[in-house]
Amino acid sequence: MTEEKLTQIFVMGKAYDVPAGITIMDAMEYAGYRFVRGAGCRSGFCGACGTVYRKDGDYRLEFALACQEMVEEGMHLTQIPFTPAPRSDYQLNELDAAENVLLQHYPAIARCVSCNTCTKACPQDIEVMDYVQAALRGDLKRVAELSFDCIQCGLCAMRCPADIKHYHLSQMARRLYSVTESPEPAHLTARMAELGDGAYDAELDEMMSMTLDQLKQRYAERVIEKEGEAL
């Protein structure tokens, strides 16, 4: 029988031997800690598990997604809640995209010192500083495109010396861009028309009358669309 390779980590200062090559999230659970908040998809998509740690002999704090970063020997871990950065309140249909509304709602972007820390912190490899600069210029399209893969983890905001709420800023830009500048997708227009004409009413009525077991069977037998293949 091969022996499992173990690595020593510290959680809240207490030493634990955990299997090598597992994620911070798995290691903390292996050690007996329970994630009540700060965990979601476990696959690097939901952004809920932003975490802070330190390596042995290094005073600097490191930031990562707990479900993606692997444990290393001598890692000092802690558990933090999600990043509750304040979000500006707005009604999309009341905004005037011709004004620089991003700057009005997030004036801290004018304090960016171009340190690029946000870009280096981003687990999605997004050019975060570049979209902050684009936001300053009021370039909604550029912010929306650059930030498209943002998972709202908040690691950029945790480290920004200018106190910028990057992920709320870019979400606002994407929303505003989609309702003001981006062309309406043809497939969406067509689907909305189908819905309006009642094309799916009979199927919906049928499903509403099904038992739970019938619904489960329908789900199991569903046809799954393959990438690049329209049904």
Q: Which two tokens stand for residue 165?
A: 């709420």
Q: Which helix (H) or strand (E) holds 193?
A: helix 186-196
Return residues touching ligand SF4 (CB under 6 A). Answer: 47, 112-118, 121-122, 124, 126, 128-129, 132, 150-156, 160-162, 164, 166-167
Q: Which two tokens stand for residue 54?
A: 């330190």
Question: Rounded to an integer, what distance in angstroms lies between the CA atom of residue 229 and that of residue 231?
Answer: 6
Cβ distance to ligand SF4 smaller for residue 120 or 218: 120
Any idea what DSSP says for residue 62? Answer: E
Question: Which parts of 60-180 fold into alpha helices (H)?
Answer: 101-105, 117-121, 128-136, 140-146, 155-159, 166-180
CB of 134 to ligand SF4, least distance (A): 12
CB of 192 to ligand FES, least distance (A): 31
The answer to whether residue 70 forms part of the interface with ligand FES (CB under 6 A) is no
From ligand SF4, ligand FES, none, which one binds at residue 65 (CB under 5 to 8 Å depending on kind)?
Answer: ligand FES
From ligand FES, ligand SF4, none, which one binds at residue 40 (CB under 5 to 8 Å depending on kind)?
Answer: ligand FES
Interface residue with ligand FES, options 20, 31, 46, 162 (CB under 6 A):
46
CB of 35 to ligand FES, least distance (A): 8
Cβ distance to ligand SF4 smaller for residue 74 or 159: 159
Question: Rounded to an integer, what distance in angstroms lies between the CA atom of residue 26 and that of residue 102?
Answer: 38
Question: Rounded to an integer, what distance in angstroms lies between the CA atom of residue 159 and that of residue 166?
Answer: 11
Phi-psi group of 62: left, alpha or beta (phi > 0 → left; psi -120 to 50 → alpha; rest → beta): beta
Cβ distance to ligand SF4 smaller for residue 134 or 153: 153
SS3 31: coil
Interface residue with ligand FES, options 11, 24, 28, 47 (CB under 6 A):
47
The answer to whether residue 155 forms part of the interface with ligand FES (CB under 6 A) is no
Q: Which residues bind ligand FES (CB under 6 A)?
A: 39-42, 44-49, 65, 67
